[in-house]
Amino acid sequence: MEAKPWRDRVREEDELVEQLQLQVSQSAERRAEALREGVDELGTVAEVARALGKSWNAIDKAIKKQDQKRRPGGTGRATNA
């Protein structure tokens, strides 16, 4: 059996990387939504962090990172008008 040409293998791996990056992005959004629900239920980011055994900073960053992506304009940054 003959091996695939290297260009084909690289192309296939590039496609796989793109698919995986999309899955990671979607997973991060779903995780942030679950964390937001945890904050709604428990009252604070710190309480969610305690419940999960994580740092409050990690929880806060995960939520804020996804919030920035949701902002209109696509920059992900808040603007001062």
**Per-residue model confidence as pLDDT tens digits over 14-70:** 999 999 999 999 999 999 999 999 999 999 999 999 999 999 999 999 999 999 988
Q: How confident is the model at residue 79 (pLDDT cuts 50, 70, 90)?
A: very low
Residue 2 has a pLDDT of 83
73 φψ region: left (φ > 0), alpha (ψ -120 to 50), beta (else)? left
Is pTM beyond 0.85 here?
no
pLDDT at 73: 65
pLDDT of residue 17: 98
